[in-house]
Amino acid sequence: MTGKQDILICIGAAIGANCIPCFEHLYEKALEQGVTPEEIKNAVDLGERSKKEPVWQ
């Protein structure tokens, strides 16, 4: 995995855990590493979805 992939996974996990301070910290780190807002949104969407149903379905 790359640093970019790692940060996106962490963002999804932060959202899934309802940890807003974690997300805010990771959001800044992601932008510093060149992650686009669209990529961040996708990770957030997956984190939100994982709270409702398994993502793999």
Please write the tens of the pLDDT for every residue from 11-53.
Answer: 999 999 999 999 999 999 999 999 999 999 999 999 999 888 7
Domain residue spans of the chain: 3-52
Gap between the terminal Cα atoms of the chain: 23
pLDDT for the residue 38:
98
Average pLDDT value for residue range 4-15: 96
pLDDT for the residue 54:
67
pTM of the model: 0.86
Helix (H, G, I), strand (E, B) or coil at 49: helix
